[in-house]
Amino acid sequence: MTVTKEPEAALAAPRPQDLAELLLESSTPRRPSAVSASLTFGWRAVLKIKHVPEQLFDVTAFPVMMILMFTYLFGGALAGSPGEYIQYLLPGITVTSVVMITMYTGVAVNTDISKGVFDRFRTLPIWRPAPMVGYILGDLLRYALASLVILVVGLVIGFRPDGGFVGVVLGIAVLIGFSFAFSWVWTMFGLMMRSEKSVMGVSMLFLFPLTFLSNVYVSPTTMPGWLQAFVNVNPITKLVEAVRALMAGQVDGDAMMWTGGYAALFTIVFGAWTMRLYNRK
């Protein structure tokens, strides 16, 4: 038996008035909120890490190298044994490693500017600071990952925080909050400098003195008096004191106050300066 199928009816041609209604749509898409725009740009920063995983080298291999090198090189000389020294060192080395990688926020900003991506961002109907905030939000993942890597390595080689799980989480939260504020310094330099190498050079010029002239590796009481005057007001010193106390199950109110003050200062001053440069560049 042969079954014959009726030919399908030809599609009717669209009417001119239907096309006009589609092309001349009167309603416009709703403008994204500041939060949604910032989160979108933050997700963009995370996707860049996904497609270029080599970016995670600095938040994995570098922290491991730092903690192993300083623990076993200086632990015996400074504290009698690596096991004793790691209790003092780990909170400080966590701060150093995370603060060091905040400079990559400025490098990413400078790279997008040199490629012309920011010219497109400026034409979009979005909250103006969203691209900058998005960069920093995306880098929060890097900060958390670096902290986790250091903590795991520290636990393996003998670190035992008296503050337990809660103290460690609170310490890392304070560190990440401070790093968010500190990243505004490098976004400013990312807008000012002509190349990403210049951003990295200027960043290291500031980061090395701040991290090494602090209480990360040794107690400030062993330093000359003139050096202690700087170390005692160094924002990294105050941050390390706050994180070290939380991981030990205590709260250093003075250090927390200084850390919060520095974080507010960096956000207000350098955040405003960044946006002024962004609007005028």
Give the model confidence (pLDDT) of 145-197 as tens digits: 889 999 999 999 989 999 899 999 999 999 999 999 999 999 899 888 888 88
Confidence (pLDDT) at 70: 87
Q: Which amino acid is at 213?
A: L
- Biggest CA–CA distance in the chain, Å, is 106
Confidence (pLDDT) at 134: 86
pTM of the model: 0.82
Given a cut of 70, is residue 140 above it in pLDDT? yes
pLDDT band at 11 (very low <50, low <70, confident <90, very high): low
Whole-number average pLDDT of the chain: 85
Of 21 and 218, more confident: 218
Q: Which of 213, 142, 205, 214 is nearest to 179 (CA)?
A: 142
Integer Cα distance of 242 and 141 in angstroms? 21
Confidence (pLDDT) at 90: 92
Confidence (pLDDT) at 270: 92
Integer Cα distance of 88 and 111 in angstroms? 38
Calculate the CA dihedral of residues 143, 146, 150, 152 and round it to 10 degrees: 100
For residue range 192-234, list pLDDT tens digits in order.
888 888 888 888 899 999 999 999 998 898 889 899 999 999 9
Dihedral sign (CA 54, 56, 57, 61): negative
Mean pLDDT of 55-74: 81
Give the residue extent of every domain in the chain: 40-280
